[in-house]
Amino acid sequence: MGGGWFESVAEARRRAERVLPPSVAAALVAGAEAGVSLADNTAAFGALGFAPRVADKPASRDLSVTVMGQTLSLPVLISPVGVQAVHPDAELAVARAAAARGTAMGLSSFGAKPVEEVVAANPQTFFQIYWAGSRERIEQRLERARAAGAVGLIVTLDWSFVHSRDRGSPFIPQRIDLAAVRRLAPEVARRPRWLVRWLRSGGLPGLTVPNMTIPGEAPPGFFAAYGEWMQTPPPTWDDLAWLRSQWDGPCMIKGIVRIDDAKRAVDVGATAISVSNHGGNNLDGTPATIRALPAVAAAVGDSVEVLLDGGVRRGGDAVKAVALGARAVMIGRAALWGLAANGQAGVENVLDVLRAGIDSALLGLGRAAVAELEPADIVVPPGFAAALGGEA
């Protein structure tokens, strides 16, 4: 069942795990410590229900939305994810797939492909940046992204450098050298298709991060760049205000779960905020993002665009998020499973699955457009929502 069309994100994951060496597959799932937040991100969607209608349904549905000035054909965009060693084409395949399906993508600073190439593959690219290094270095990275044509900025803040996992952490080498090859050889032997893909592309994953440099510099390895990030003091709100002042286009602050943080993001001039717990890789025990979304959305109103990132596995999840206050959702793991399963076509397949699910949910709810969705379309159990950091 390798390659070919699949009908769900769950099947994309199964196919990806038949292709990827176990360490690579485990790195995609990750999740901090006990994985409480990782599990809750997906389980919480299952706790929500729909309130369907049976008549006067629209014959066609409009799935389009506008996010950070970009018109998207559906309320789903690709979240920035670093080190996409699941496929040689990495972010270029994801960018082309997103462009083919009429949506945008975020490119991670820790991505494997240069921002210039990714923007060329999809002009609707948002560049993601971490607070890493000096202000001068950060400004240089912003200028490179601006020169490349990135149409927006994503500032990711939801990460607390938790490295302990109850089930153990996957092996990620600093580089693919002889020692790494020896250690990974038994895994790769069980998943030869992954190795064949890379050999046909001209070599093994380089594990470098070209977007952490400026033109003319050699790209550092992932762990060297990660070390710079870890050793940089966390930003203050004044730092974020400065960062916002250096970018004259749309700017998203990603990692919000608290009402007070959402309001501060508005104060520093954010165009959008993403309710996110870094896919469960941040502080374990943080509530699922769909639980935090309603209070955050109510608190900021129309003063900023609100997106949700975390746990989206089907179109119905996206509809639930939009009905509860999000403008759109962002997907990370789902896109990477599609990429691992079948390259660019696999990412397109994932987006098609989500589009079909969104359209089906709209039909069931009797809504002609995602813009018509409202909380009354969703059955929310008592005690479901989490209002953190203040009252809405």
Q: Which of the residues are catalytic?
A: 278
Query: What is the 3-state composition of the chain as percent helix, strand, coil, each rounded to the nearest 5?
Result: 45, 15, 40
Q: Which long-range contacts (CB under 8 A, 24 or more apart) does 2-10 make?
A: 2/193, 2/341, 3/341, 3/342, 3/345, 4/342, 5/349, 6/341, 6/342, 6/346, 6/349, 6/353, 7/353, 8/314, 8/353, 9/313, 9/314, 9/334, 9/337, 9/338, 9/350, 9/353, 9/354, 10/313
CB burial of residue 197 (10 Å; 0-12, 13-18, 19+): middle
Of 119, 65, 110, the C-alpha closest to 84 is 110
Residue 375 has phi, psi (to 5 degrees) of -55, -30
Q: Which element (helix H / strand E) includes 119?
A: helix 115-121
Q: How far apart are CA 238 and CA 199, in angstroms?
A: 47
Return the number of other C-beta atoms located less than 10 Å from residue 160's C-beta.
Answer: 12
Amino acid identity, position 161: F
Q: How far apart are CA 276 and CA 263, in angstroms?
A: 15
Q: Which element (helix H / strand E) includes 156?
A: strand 152-156
Residue 257 near residue 286, CB atoms below 8 Å: yes
Return the number of other C-beta atoms located less than 10 Å from residue 341's C-beta.
Answer: 29
3-state SS, residue 210: helix
CB burial of residue 262 (10 Å; 0-12, 13-18, 19+): buried
